[in-house]
Amino acid sequence: MTKRSRSLTLLEVMIGIALIAIASGALFWRLQKMVERSRFDTDVKRFQSLLLLTRNLAINTKMDYRLDLKQMPDSWAAHLFCREDPDLSYPVPKLSALEITLNRTPIHELSIHFYSTGFVGPKGLITLGAENQKKEFKFPELFYRQEDLPLVPLHPSEIK
């Protein structure tokens, strides 16, 4: 008795490769959507952190600041400077190319004013992103901790 080894036919190999390609395509599509969502969430958190940081900077230094955002072809350029001392400016990393609207109107430039009293302008609704992924911030309500608290720095003992 002789043993005969069975080898794969060309058709079986091609079917196997096709199945692997279909499975990897579906996985890549889902992975790409997940990475895109994660990138959007990171950009929104960076933008919100920049706003909160600038407001705290204005309150703690008792000086007024302005954050200028200007849309570039592939990103948003940001410039933060003190309105009372123009030589005092801070480097701000570029923000990604999110769509930004103010009161539902697309914008290409935006100046956000942060006053030493805690007030932030302009008032309105700022939306980041498009229809499938968007995050809205109401100004100045974004900066309120509670409605009945004044817009001043909080002492650690006052935090509940």
Q: Which domains does the chain show, CATH number per domain?
A: 28-147 (3.55.40)
Read off the pLDDT of residues 36-89 as tens digits, 9 standing for 90 and up. 888 888 888 888 888 888 888 888 889 999 999 898 888 888 889 898 887 888
Q: Rounded to whole angstroms, what are the CA distances from 125 to 94, 133, 136, 139?
A: 22, 16, 7, 6
pLDDT value at residue 17? 92
Residue 143: name the closest of 153, 135, 151, 154 by CA: 151
pLDDT band at 147 (very low <50, low <70, confident <90, very high): very low
CB 140 within 8 A of CB 120: yes
Q: Pinpoint the alpha helices (H) of the chain.
A: 10-61
Instruction: Look at residue 143 in the predicted model and tell me its pLDDT.
Output: 73
| Helix H or strand E segment including 8 | none
* 0.75 surpassed by pTM: no
Backbone angles phi, psi at 98, to 5 degrees: -75, 150
* CA–CA separation, 76 and 91 (whole Å): 14
Q: Are 85 and 25 in contact (CB under 8 A)?
A: no
Q: Scanning the structure block, which residue is given the tokens 């900066």?
A: 143
